[in-house]
């Protein structure tokens, strides 16, 4: 047996870094800006350690473009490097000056770690020049030049600006857009606007205040709304917000916003961003947040979150689970606090926060347990029930198997007339008009022992059945009307006593089809009211218009009467009532 030593083929490694380490070329600018910021942060730390004076000096990273030369320049006035440091950190892949500095000085504000970011420049550049001057002014300046191969040149050179580092990228022709101001500003604002060091793009400072780092007691509601407008320009104010600021069990800061929702946009990913030490990392937080909270908006920041080498994806480990659990707990606490302190305000917010809560209850049993008594159901007349209140209201309405029965509409305008029939019988009718509601109703059926029926469901019609039998047709009359209606409509027809004052007919669907949000359920059956006087008039006169009138009334109640049929309905109604 013999022991060997692994070797690295440098000529093969650099092309891998250039083409495959990062998912998008834009991140090279993030990496180079991060290096400049780290250089400034190191200088701040050293100033405290060594008594250096930085009074009146703005530490900064500047981004300058020269479109005609296809050049992009990044310039900082940070700690700089000596010739020895250039050879140690630029000429050795995965040697991280930031990591070494952080470990030596116990500095926590350093972004870099892996020692790979500098080489991302070769994704877009055919040549990179580094001109640097150490803060140790007795050390000469150094120029390093590389073309992405395993060779480079190194020489002493003066830096006109003095202390700091200038990185010049000679861009490949296919990446000349990175020498355009609009392009680099767009990228810089995405990744770097909340960094603790001033960032300038062509002389314009892009930094914004990271509001999430402020203590909540120092901020007003207007501050939070202003920050939301900065993150999501053009969007309406959020429904409400939650400020996270904890040190244990993990370091976590952030602001969560519940956006103002449109029903058709409920399940769209809203845009939630992760920052580490002020640097934007990703908005793909599938590994950090439960899916129902990814509908929220805002930012979170944590130095405890593990990242992969490219810093564009999260590394799955127990820390992520702790953060996820903490966020869920804080969301439920905020909901409970708002409900208990101001129920009326909570009810006005429900239109916007309800879809989050409902979706969370479907996806997460523990979340469902915590928010069960905070979930609201909206009645068609506009009032709200908590789930316990609703269960109490419908407790007396039970099907033959003992399940409580509730009724709902998915379109209050189209199904409003039918809803009133159930309300007149003493049944509360709720609205279920968002895309998540059909699934939430099914969840409640499973967990709470309820049966929900849409007001035009076949299964719902029996709850309108009259107790008395005044004016009811006899068996022979029922069969005659039934056959005539079947011939007129082409639908199965069912007789049912709905009272003398009840509707002449109801157009019903199967509940399973009616609830399915992915398909439009066709009418499945016509239920005609065997107590309605309209049918006696038909039997006496044999005037088919009475049946046509009942058919149109049924379609009108269910919202199925087409606009072009409405005029004929009104004319027939007038004619029949006038005795013509």
Comparing CA positions, the residue from 149, 126, 139 lying closest to residue 13 is 149
Residue 352, C-beta contacts closer than 8 angstroms, at least 6 positions apart: 239, 258, 259, 260, 261
pLDDT, tens digit, 9 for 90 and up, residues 128-182 = 999 999 998 889 999 999 887 778 899 999 999 999 999 999 999 999 999 999 9
CATH code of the domain in which 249 resides: 3.30.230.80
Boundary (domain end) residue, out of 405, 437, 455:
455
| Cα–Cα dist 186/223, whole Å | 24
CATH number for the domain that contains residue 82: 3.30.565.10
Assigned domain for 352 exists: no
The tokens for 109 are 């504000």
Higher pLDDT, 478 or 269: 478
Does residue 413 register a pLDDT over 60?
Answer: yes
Number of domains in the chain: 4
Burial class (CB in 10 A: 0-12, 13-18, 19+), 443: middle
Residue 60 in domain: yes
Distance CA 333, CA 246 (A): 14
Element containing residue 437 per DSSP (H, E): helix 437-448
> Rounded CA gap, 352 and 376, in Å?
12
Residue 165 lies in a domain: yes
- pLDDT band, very low/low/confident/very high, at 250 (cuts 50, 70, 90): confident
Cβ-contact 57, 186 below 8 angstroms: no
Which one of 299, 322, 341 terminates a domain?
A: 341
Do residues 135 and 245 both lie within one domain? no
Residues 331 and 405 in one domain: no
In a domain, 357, yes or no: no
pLDDT at residue 502, as a whole number: 86
What pLDDT, on the 0 to 100 scale, is given for residue 114? Answer: 37
Give pLDDT, residue 311.
Answer: 45
Q: Quick check: pTM over 0.85?
A: no
- How, if at all, do strands 404-409 and 450-454 pair? parallel
Which structure tokens are listed for 145?
């030049």
Q: Flag whether 359 is in a domain.
A: no
Edge to edge, the sheet with strand 493-496 lists 493-496, 525-529, 505-508
3-state secondary structure of 320: helix
Residue 91 predicted with pLDDT over 90: no
Are 73 and 156 in a shared domain?
yes
Give domain status of residue 358, yes or no. Answer: no
Same domain membership, residue 524 and residue 436: no
Residues in the chain: 580
User: Is the backbone of residue 314 left (phi > 0), alpha (psi -120 to 50) or beta?
Assistant: beta
The residue range of the domain holding 549 is 464-577
Percent of the chain predicted with pLDDT > 90: 45
Mean pLDDT of the chain: 84
Question: Pick the residue with more confidence: 246 or 577?
Answer: 246
119 and 232 in a single domain? The answer is no
Q: What is the dihedral of CA 208, 209, 213, 214, to 10 degrees?
A: -160
Assess whether pLDDT exceeds 80 at residue 516. no
Write the pLDDT tens digit of every residue in 116-125.
678 888 889 9
Radius of gyration of the chain (CA): 35
Q: What is the CATH number of the domain that holds 549?
A: 1.20.120.790
Beta-carbon contacts of 260 under 8 Å, excluding residues fewer than 6 positions away, are: 235, 236, 237, 238, 239, 352
**Lowest-confidence pick of 110-114, 129-133, 355-359, 487-491:** 110-114
Domain-located, residue 163: yes
Q: Are residues 157 and 190 in the same domain?
A: yes
Cα-Cα end-to-end distance for the chain: 111
Residues of the chain with pLDDT > 70: what percent? 85
Residues 215 and 194 in one domain: no
pLDDT, tens digit, 9 for 90 and up, residues 435-459: 899 999 999 999 998 999 999 888 8
Between 105 and 373, the more confident residue is 373
pLDDT surpassing 60 at residue 412? yes
Do 410 and 473 reside in the same domain of the chain? no
The answer to whether residues 134 and 194 belong to one domain is yes
Q: List, for residues 32-74, the tens digit of each pLDDT value.
A: 998 899 899 888 888 887 778 788 889 999 999 999 999 999 9
Contact partners, residue 513, CB within 8 Å, separation at least 6: 519, 521, 522, 524
Domain identity same for 152 and 20: yes
Same domain, 52 and 200: yes
Q: What average pLDDT does the segment 348-369 reach?
A: 92
Instruction: State whether 39 and 78 are in the same domain.
Output: yes
Whether residue 506 contacts residue 538, with contact meaning beta carbons closer than 8 Å, is answered with: no
CA-to-CA dists, residue 529 to 65, 409, 504, 540, angstroms: 80, 22, 5, 17
CB-based contact 435:388 (threshold 8 Å): no
Ranges 327-341, 355-369, 515-529: which has the least confidence = 515-529
Dist. CA 27–CA 14, nearest whole Å: 17
pLDDT for residue 173: 95
Contacts of residue 235, Cβ cutoff 8 Å, sequence gap at least 6: 228, 229, 259, 260
Higher-pLDDT residue of 1 and 492 is: 492
Asked if the structure places residue 161 within a domain, the reply is yes
* Final residue belonging to a domain, choices 171, 205, 239: 205
Q: Where are the alpha helices (DSSP H) in 155-283?
A: 181-192, 221-231
Residue in this structure with the two tokens 């109604």, named with its chain if needed: 573
Of the candidates 61, 166, 68, 72, which has an alpha carbon nearest to the alpha carbon of residue 126? 72
Residue 228 has pLDDT above 90, yes or no: yes
């Amino acid at each position: 047996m013999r022991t060997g030593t692994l070797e690295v083929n440098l000529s093969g490694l650099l092309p891998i870094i250039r083409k495959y380490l990062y998912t998008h070329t834009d991140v090279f600018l993030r990496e180079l800006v991060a290096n400049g910021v780290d250089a400034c942060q190191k200088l701040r730390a050293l100033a405290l350690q060594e008594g250096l004076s930085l009074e009146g000096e703005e530490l900064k990273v500047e981004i300058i473009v020269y479109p005609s030369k296809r050049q992009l320049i990044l310039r900082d006035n940070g700690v700089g490097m000596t010739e020895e440091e250039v050879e140690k950190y630029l000429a050795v892949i995965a040697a991280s000056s930031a990591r070494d500095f952080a470990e030596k000085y116990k500095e926590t504000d350093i972004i870099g770690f892996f020692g790979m970011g500098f080489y991302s420049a070769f994704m877009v550049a055919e040549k990179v020049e580094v001109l640097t001057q150490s803060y140790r002014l007795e050390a000469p300046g150094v120029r390093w030049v590389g073309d992405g191969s395993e060779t480079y040149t190194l020489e002493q050179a003066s830096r006109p600006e003095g202390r700091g580092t200038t990185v010049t990228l000679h861009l490949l022709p296919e990446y000349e857009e990175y020498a355009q101001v609009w392009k680099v500003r767009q990228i810089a604002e995405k990744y770097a606007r909340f960094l603790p060091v001033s960032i300038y793009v062509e002389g314009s400072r892009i930094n914004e205040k990271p509001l999430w780092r402020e203590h909540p007691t120092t901020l007003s509601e207007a501050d939070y709304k202003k920050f939301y407008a900065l993150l999501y320009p053009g969007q309406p104010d959020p429904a409400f917000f939650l400020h996270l600021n904890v040190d244990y069990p993990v370091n976590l800061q952030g602001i969560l916003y519940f956006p103002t929702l449109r029903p058709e946009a409920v399940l769209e990913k809203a845009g939630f961003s992760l920052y580490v030490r002020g640097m934007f990392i990703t908005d793909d937080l599938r590994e950090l947040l439960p899916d129902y909270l990814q509908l929220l908006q805002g930012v979170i920041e944590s130095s405890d979150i593990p990242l992969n080498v490219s810093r564009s994806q999260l590394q799955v480990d127990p820390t992520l689970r702790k953060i996820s659990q903490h966020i869920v707990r804080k969301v439920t606490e905020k909901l409970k606090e708002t409900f208990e302190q101001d129920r009326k305000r909570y009810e006005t917010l429900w239109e916007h926060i309800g879809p989050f809560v409902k979706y969370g209850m479907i996806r997460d049993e523990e979340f469902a347990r915590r928010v069960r008594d905070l979930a609201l159901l909206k009645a068609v007349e506009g009032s709200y029930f908590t789930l316990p209140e609703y269960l109490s209201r419908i407790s007396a309405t039970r099907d033959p198997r003992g399940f409580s029965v509730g009724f709902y509409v998915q379109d209050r305008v189209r199904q409003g007339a039918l809803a009133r029939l159930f309300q007149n019988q003493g049944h509360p009718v709720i609205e279920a008009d968002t895309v998540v509601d059909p699934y939430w109703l099914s969840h409640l059926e499973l967990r709470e022992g309820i049966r929900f029926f849409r007001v035009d469901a076949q299964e719902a019609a029996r709850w309108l059945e009259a107790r008395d039998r005044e004016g009811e047709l006899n068996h022979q009359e029922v069969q005659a009307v039934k056959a005539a209606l079947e011939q007129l409509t082409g639908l199965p027809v069912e007789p049912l006593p709905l009272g003398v004052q009840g509707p002449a007919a109801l157009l019903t669907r199967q509940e399973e089809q009616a609830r399915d949000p992915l398909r439009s359920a066709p009418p499945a059956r016509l239920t005609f009211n065997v107590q309605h006087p309209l049918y006696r008039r038909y039997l006496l006169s044999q005037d088919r218009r009475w049946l046509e009138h009942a058919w149109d009334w049924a379609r009108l109640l269910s919202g199925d009467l087409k606009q072009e049929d409405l005029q004929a309905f009104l004319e027939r109604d007038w004619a029949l009532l006038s005795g013509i």
